[in-house]
Amino acid sequence: MDSLQQCKRALDLGLITSRDYDIAKDWFLFSHRVVAAKDTGVLTQDDLVHIRDVLKRAIDEGASKEVKCDVRALMRRTMDGETTKNEDVARERERERERERERERDAETSVELATTTRETIAEKRVDAASSSEVAETSEMKEAPKVQAPKVQAPKVQAPAPASASAPAPPKTPAAPPKTPGGASKATGTSMSGVAVADDCIAVFNKVKLRSSGLQWAVFRVEETEGSVLTDTTGAVGAGDFSSFLAALPANECRYAIYDYEYVNSEDCVFQKLVFIIWNPDGARLKNKMLYASTKDFFKSRLSGIAVEIQATDLDEVSEEELNAQVGATLTRK
């Protein structure tokens, strides 16, 4: 205020012009507004320093000659600069929040992936334990149950009257149940509830004795009927060994019987029955478990088997492999 009064006295003494006094008055009012805004909290200390720097640059550049205009321009530049600064800060804060949200999403995705991985591992362990349990159970052959004969006390019947008719003839026992294909089922079932059709036993005996010219046969477990049925047969000398391999499906299990002719180094010929459990990797787990739990029950109905082979691919059931397995059996004997 003292500075403005000194400028007024200088105007009265003619030392400065009215225009100079107006410029000084504009500067004084502008400075007073800035200080008041600082005192009331509208402007911060950083804002005050920023305005001071802008004013210094204006004075250095000679822009203070048009003070009235320059003061307003300086105010606009100050506010525009502050607005731009605030906008930059806001944008930077928004970018930081977005980066934080991305980090949170990545963390959630990692947790979900880890949880899914743990659940998958747990399921595989359960499946492995189930397969192991079924394999152990299938190794136990079903022992026939022996029941003691029932002893009944002799019944004393009163003598029939003279007019009584002759006793009725005994009833003919009922025929065994038939499968849809006409083959009767064998008595008893495996632990998995699967029976073996009599037709399978008849086909096996034909391969064993080479009657009707059969050299091999493939059997399947019909899940809907709960029976082991004949799937395919092959005649002696009908095609090469590949026709037998073609009868083994890529994605389903099977049982197979092959009457293999082995010739040793001394030109001695041997006929050996080979029992094959076809268990390809592409088969369903339920299908594998069903064949594993029925194998011993089915094999126990077949007599005369010399070699058993469990194969998961065609290399394990090739003609070379059969020759090696049969030859090893004869060597051991």
Domain with residue 205: its CATH number is 3.40.20.10
Residue 182 region, left (φ>0) first, then alpha (ψ -120 to 50), else beta?
A: left
For position 152, what pLDDT does the model report? 58
Q: Which residue has the higher pLDDT, 225 or 94?
A: 94
Torsion of CA 160, 163, 168, 169, to 10 degrees: 100
Does residue 306 form part of some domain? yes
Q: Check whether 173 has a pLDDT greater than 50.
A: no
Q: Check whether 93 has a pLDDT greater than 80.
A: yes
Does residue 68 form part of some domain? no
Does residue 309 form part of some domain? yes
Task: Look at the chain and report how many structural domains it folds into.
Answer: 1
| Average pLDDT of the residues in 208-219 | 87
Does residue 62 form part of some domain? no
Q: Which residue has the higher pLDDT, 277 or 159?
A: 277
Q: How many Cβ atoms are within 10 Å of 264's Cβ, its own excluded? A: 12
| Average pLDDT of the residues in 287-291 | 92
Q: Check whether 320 has a pLDDT greater than 60.
A: yes
Amino acid of residue 57: R
172 confidence band (pLDDT: 50, 70, 90)? very low
Does residue 49 form part of some domain? no
For position 181, what pLDDT does the model report? 40
For residue 262, the enclosing domain spans: 195-332
Q: Which residue has the higher pLDDT, 51 or 187?
A: 51
| Average pLDDT of the residues in 163-188 | 46
| Residue 257: alpha-carbon gap to chain centroid | 36
Q: Which residue has the higher pLDDT, 119 or 183?
A: 119
Q: How many Cβ atoms are within 10 Å of 123's Cβ, its own excluded? A: 10
Q: Check whether 4 has a pLDDT greater than 80.
A: no
pTM of the model: 0.45
Distances in Å between the Cα of 321 and the Cα atoms of 60, 118, 257, 316, 324 are 101, 40, 15, 6, 5
- Residue of 76, 81, 46, 80 whose CA lies nearest to 63: 76
Q: Check whether 184 has a pLDDT greater than 50.
A: no
Does residue 134 form part of some domain? no
Does residue 48 form part of some domain? no
- Residue of 212, 221, 187, 213 whose CA lies nearest to 301: 187
Q: Check whether 313 has a pLDDT greater than 80.
A: yes
Does residue 126 form part of some domain? no
